[in-house]
Homo-oligomer: A and B are copies of this chain.
């Protein structure tokens, strides 16, 4: 039995960075050390793994990091890791460094790499780290809570000036192909319209009619939260202004949504997930993805996790709409 015991684990962040990743790294490091393991930090994602940018981590290395945005391990895209050759080399390097378990913090793309490594015999545990919430097996992803608060606060500010000038404002939030950030902001900012890829029918005339009607009823501003997956906010603003005569401005919030000190939830949940990843490795589990589901931190087989589907909750979407424009009925 003893020979099955893992001794050394590695941790890396991959793909787009997300606030809370440092909390997860810290938890992996400290939980690992307090479980008697060696912990190695792998810098710059899979790219750094292939370049062997690997260092031993101490408890102190992660001091004063839980409150910081970004990732102290850096991150990078890695085309090589999509090739079979790259994957085999990565597995080789893990073995060379005695890494018995690898914690990969990232999104679906990063998990695909983890899955390949798992198939090559390297035990990997995926932690969902993305501001987009677009990982099917989990209701929570590291960074979403911070990003959605950052976006919401920015939209609150745009709303102030939008009201003062009685403008229509389109604010484009991130989310890649998913509308979660947009729906949450739509509800939280009391937006008049929310456009998400999962639901938008591209009937811009309806949108324009809505704006005109709303203005007639005395609304001082008209806030449209537009998801990145739809995009083209500048052009949309021009068309709306042309059609309605109402001054319309677009703001694309951009990369500020990826940064910032993590919120309490992101710090706490990322810490829990990091600790659980280590506990799974210690318990001898193999090739899992950690998720938060039905109110609990759980783990799934990596292949099953990648095959799952999820969608914007239809009741939430319905409420989102009923609290914004439908109430004018």
Contacts and interface: CB of A to CB of B under 8 A. Distances in A.
Nearest to A27: B323
Contacts of A268: 184, 187-188, 316
A327 interface: yes
B255 A188 contact: no
A288 interface: no
Nearest to A151: B264
Contacts of A185: 264
Interface in A109-167: 139, 145, 148-150, 152, 154-166
Nearest to A145: B265
Nearest to A71: B164
A159 to B, nearest CB: 7
A222 interface: no
Interface centre among A156, A162, A188, A220 (most CB of B within 10 A): A188
A161 to B, nearest CB: 4
A306 interface: no
B328 A161 contact: no
A327 B33 contact: yes
Nearest to A19: B160
Given A63-B190, A157-B259, 5 more contacts: A156-B261, A158-B258, A187-B268, A251-B256, A275-B319
